[in-house]
Amino acid sequence: MIYIYGLIIAGYLVLGLVSRGDGMPGFSKMAAYLFRKAGRFRAGRSGGGLPYESGVRRDLAILYPFGQTKREEERFFTERIRIVLMILLAGTVLAAASYVAAGRSLLMTEKGELVRDRVGGEDRTTELEVSVRDKGSKEEEPVYQGNYRLEVRSRKYSRQQAKELADKLFAALPEKILGQNSDLRHVTSDLDLPDEVEGYPFVIAWESSSYALVDADGSVGNVAMDRHDSREVTLTAILSYDNGTPEGIRFDREYAVTVFPPVLTEEEKLSAGIREALSSADQESVSEGVLPLPKTLEERAVDYAEKPSDSGPAVILFALAVACLTAASMGSRLHQRVLDRERQMMLDYPRIISKFVLYMGAGLSIRSCFLKIGEDYARKKEEGKEARGAYEEILLVCRELGSGVPEAEAYARFGARCRSRQYTRLCTLLTQNIRKGNRELLSVMQQEAQASFEERRNTARKLGEEAETKLLLPMILMLAITMLIIIIPAYYSFAA
């Protein structure tokens, strides 16, 4: 995996070199370079780009109507690419660091031994890549390969044990150690030999009359047995209790176990043999500083290679998922801005229509009303007031009228850009007045103003109901926390 991480980082370096001509720092120039390359690729395709890109371009065209769409589109996609590049590089670096850290925690020495922890230290687990080959044929393909997870116990002395509930535990052990077997008189799979049993103050040690058949950890070495063979093994459970004295207290009970052979393939026999050899080597060297790994198995040479626990792939997959979610969320946030703009325009509509009624009542023409409203908004915007979507569209109408666009066409474009039935209705009234004339336009506009204010009240009421619904869950959580604050002290006071 370290080579893959290196290739990814090398790809970033190459990308940085090929994009060095851009006058921007770091990831921004790489993002700009990729955006240009992607633009050329899209230009060569008949489809013209990905399906979701059209939605982003449409939202940008709504938010930036003054000929800024192209520039804002480049800025948006470049920023999205820059964030994705940063997240992927961070994930790759973390994955590589995880791989290196895992390699430093390996236990195997150059002599093929696993180093144990000190007496009283921690038990450590390692994963071995085991390959079995014939002696003298090191270059040939191994006859067996497998991964084995081995617990390298720390150096320990025997612990002392005690007796108060020994008889009850001895009576219950035959049922608890069966594992997948039905009876101790017919054992074909590993036994479940526990180190301790819940409810009893004992540490349990196991001894066997034949460790080759039944090991102290419960593994059954019946791979090499004949099909119709059976073996008797005496399994001894030693219960120890540390009572604070140097010698302690010990109790033991023997159990008769009959081992029968399993039906195994050649590969399973090799696997079981490796496990048995590793377990025997561990048992024989538990008081030593290292665990010597067996070099042969059934006249075959055995090679070992310790396998580091590499969490790098998971980290880089997580980084890729975060990058994808971040890129998708940018489009969602952009669309949310469009929705907020439409809601803002809907709330501004009654005030705008009221201004039209006021100026038309004062004798101004429709064109003059647009110019007056646009001029007032531009002045307030220069003073630092917040930008409002509907007034920005009115400013655009003023610019179109100033550049020679016919009034009817400018008003129709205004209604199409606003994408709201209220503004569409207003533009319809204005264009009809220009084309056919309407003496009752002021009266109709006054009725429209009254209807718009009523509609705004209904919208405000609806938004209030939505806010109450959103506050319901926090209120329930606050109620639950309050109940816990009251109930827990009361419970402890009663318990005391």
**Residues 339-361: tens digit of each pLDDT:** 888 888 888 888 888 888 888 88
Q: Is 239 helix (H, G, I), strand (E, B) or coil?
A: strand
CB 83 within 8 Å of CB 331: no
**Mean pLDDT of all residues in 394-423:** 87
Residue 95, token pair as written in the block: 């994955």
What is the predicted pLDDT for the residue at 311?
Answer: 79
What is the predicted pLDDT for the residue at 254?
Answer: 92
In degrees and rounded to multiples of 5, residue 90 shows phi and psi of -60, -40
Cα–Cα distance between 356 and 190 in angstroms, integer? 90
What is the predicted pLDDT for the residue at 232?
Answer: 92
Residue 178 reports pLDDT greater than 70: yes
- Count other C-beta atoms under 10 Å from residue 22's C-beta: 13
Q: Which carries the bigger pLDDT value, residue 139 or residue 283?
A: 283
Residues 193-225 have pLDDT tens digits of: 998 888 777 788 999 998 888 998 898 888 777
C-alpha distances in Å from residue 208, one per residue of 153, 205, 274: 20, 10, 20
Residue 160 reports pLDDT greater than 50: no
Of the given ranges (167-171, 260-264, 314-318), which has the lowest mean pLDDT?
A: 260-264
Kindly indicate the confidence band of residue 42, based on its pLDDT and cuts at 50, 70 and 90: low
Cα–Cα distance between 255 and 208 in angstroms, integer? 10
Residue 26 reports pLDDT greater than 80: no
Residue 39, token pair as written in the block: 């633009």
CA atoms within 13 A on the CB side of 377: 23
Residue 177, token pair as written in the block: 């150690």
Residue 289 reports pLDDT greater than 70: yes
- The helix or strand, by DSSP H or E, that contains position 336, with its residue range, turns out to be helix 312-361
C-alpha 362: how far from chain center:
63
CB 373 within 8 Å of CB 394: yes
Kindly indicate the confidence band of residue 66, based on its pLDDT and cuts at 50, 70 and 90: low
Cα Rg, the chain, nearest whole Å = 40
Mean pLDDT for all residues in the chain: 81
What is the predicted pLDDT for the residue at 156?
Answer: 45
CB 132 within 8 Å of CB 293: no
What percent of the chain is predicted at pLDDT more than 90? 5
Among 323, 314, 338, 332, smallest CA distance to 31 is for 323
**Is the pTM value of this prediction over 0.95?**
no
What is the predicted pLDDT for the residue at 233?
Answer: 92
Residues 374-404 have pLDDT tens digits of: 888 888 888 888 888 888 888 888 998 888 8
Cα–Cα distance between 4 and 313 in angstroms, integer? 10
Residue 3 reports pLDDT greater than 70: yes
Asked whether the CA dihedral 386, 388, 392, 394 is positive or negative, the reply is negative
**Mean pLDDT of all residues in 425-433:** 83
Of the given ranges (27-31, 150-154, 395-399, 453-457), which has the lowest mean pLDDT?
A: 150-154
What is the predicted pLDDT for the residue at 236?
Answer: 92
What is the predicted pLDDT for the residue at 161?
Answer: 42
CB 90 within 8 Å of CB 127: no
C-alpha 226: how far from chain center:
51
In degrees and rounded to multiples of 5, residue 217 shows phi and psi of -90, 5
Kindly indicate the confidence band of residue 12, based on its pLDDT and cuts at 50, 70 and 90: confident
